[in-house]
Structure 1
Amino acid sequence: MALKVIGAGLGRTATFTIKFALEHLGLGPCFHMSEVFADGRRQVPLWLDAIGGRPDWDEIFNGFHSTTDYPACSYWRELAEFYPEAKVLLTVRDPDSWFDSVSETIFSPRMQGSLEGTPVGAMMQGAVFAPFGDRVNDRAFMTDWFARRNQEVIDSLPPERLLVYNPKEGWEPLCAFLGVAVPAEPLPRVNSRDELLDASDQTEGIPADPEAAEAFGRNYIKELKAKAFAAG
């Protein structure tokens, strides 16, 4: 099963919104970091192989038609080459707003500390934190990196293959890019900062135990999917 949409946007650029939006448009299932946690005992070793230069993309994305979020967004270039017919979706937001969000959630010491010394922690270091070194808390460095990284995506792909997209724009540009009808429901808005913090509060971060981490991932997807179109 070849990917049809590759999400190049970094985590905390409405990637959970995009997951549910793409699935609603018939381009799912959509791969997201939560899917790694939900199937961690199979997925994490595959991602560690990818980090080590031995990716099996078809096995990683077996059963999926699209991607968004980490860790796949870190490999947008490789995936765009491996799936040449796939369109690329770059979700964006204000760099300072992004830094505030990641610093309080997925990059926070509590969340990452809960994974220290685990295979998931090793995957996060290789697929997420590698570009930052010890500067993950340096706002000026991180916001500059965010902007330069997104510009690299833009400069590397033909315009007809890429959509630079802020979900605040609604369904219309996304549906026009993908060649699908605009749904009657409003675009879902999920995974706010508070929702992620509330979920991780219940487990003191992401559980280190593989079985508990899988349950965390499955439950989080289920809970947010129930909210995704609740206002529609």
Structure 2
Amino acid sequence: MKNQLIFIAQRLINMTLKVIGAGFGRTGTLSLKAALEQLGYGPCHHMKEVMLHNDQAEWFSKASKGIEVNWHEVFKNYSSAVDWPAAAYYQELADIFPEAKIVLAIRDPDAWYKSVNNTIFRVIPNFPKWIRFIFPRSDKVFNMIEKTIWQGEFSGQFEDKKLAIQIYKDRVEAIKKTFPAERLLIHSSKDGWEPLCEFLDVGIPETPYPWLNDSSKIKRAIIVMRILQWLPLTILVLFIIALMVN
């Protein structure tokens, strides 16, 4: 335990990106984030960071428009990065951080497509436009997601299941061909701790490998979004009724 704390302290002092997650979202990236942080490679960048921090939303918004950003500045407070939007720039990040190791999170292609299609792909069309109007930062984030993921990764054709799965498979093969075996780990959440710890040359924790799944939370959020879409109209109708009654 003492050695692990010393290791984590050294990571924090010498903060730079040491692990780059190249896998698409919904491939176990949330579990991988938790695992990396437990192993001392935290904080780990994830889409949630973009949602929470103004500077992250601003940087990735610029990157999605093709504007050059300082990746050292973007990741100055992180030891690792997984999930979109960082994964969309895996090659660029690998070049800028040549000492960083690459972890490619994978999942059964059909299960991956189903998960994306039932969760994050449904967020933007169901997110109330009036909220995006009132809160410009949310609009900036969703525009970034549209450009980076749905247009950038899938050329606006994610709804074509066959094509989307082929793009997923092509990404996996491209990464396999790009990086040497000593720099790349292909990892599924089902693989657990052992291959990840061996790859990073750290001890295996006594606790089980994290198994995090936010699908149910996202689905509940989508239901709430659909209800909120009608809120302004509902208020307007109630206001008109109140005027008529009076």
Tell me the TM-score normalized by structure 1: 0.82
Correspondence for 2:71: 57
Structure 1 Cα separation of the partners of residues 124 and 208 of structure 2: 31
Q: Which 5+ residue runs of structure 2 have no aligned equivalent?
A: 1-14, 133-138, 229-246
Paired residue secondary structure (2:225)? coil
Correspondence for 1:14: 28
- Distance apart, 1:191 and its partner CA: 2.1
Tell me the percent identity.
38
Correspondence for 2:191: 169
Q: Which 5+ residue runs of structure 1 have no aligned equivalent?
A: 208-232
Match 2:94 to one of 80, 98, 106: 80
Match 1:92 to one of 106, 121, 132: 106
Structure 1 Cα separation of the partners of residues 146 and 218 of structure 2: 20
Structure 1 Cα separation of the partners of residues 205 and 153 of structure 2: 38
8 Å Cα contact 2:50/2:141 also seen in 1: no
8 Å Cα contact 1:165/1:174 also seen in 2: yes
Which amino acid is 1:46 matched to? Answer: W
Aligned pair in 2 of structure 1 residues 115, 135: CA closer, same or farther (>3 Å)? farther
- Distance apart, 1:103 and its partner CA: 0.2
- Indicate whether 1:122 and 2:136 are aligned: no
- Larger % of helix: which? 2
Size of the aligned set, in residue pairs, is 204
| Higher mean C-alpha displacement, 133-142 vs 18-27 | 133-142
**Larger RCO (alpha carbons 8 Å, 6+ apart):** 1
Correspondence for 1:214: none
Paired residue secondary structure (1:187)? coil
Correspondence for 1:24: 38
Please tell me whether Structure 1 or Structure 2 has the larger radius of gyration of its CA atoms. 2
Which amino acid is 1:204 matched to? Answer: M
Paired residue secondary structure (2:219)? helix
Aligned pair in 2 of structure 1 residues 37, 192: CA closer, same or farther (>3 Å)? closer
Paired residue secondary structure (2:185)? strand
Match 1:159 to one of 181, 194, 198: 181
Which amino acid is 1:62 matched to? Answer: K
The 4+ residue runs of structure 1 with deviation greater than 6 A are none
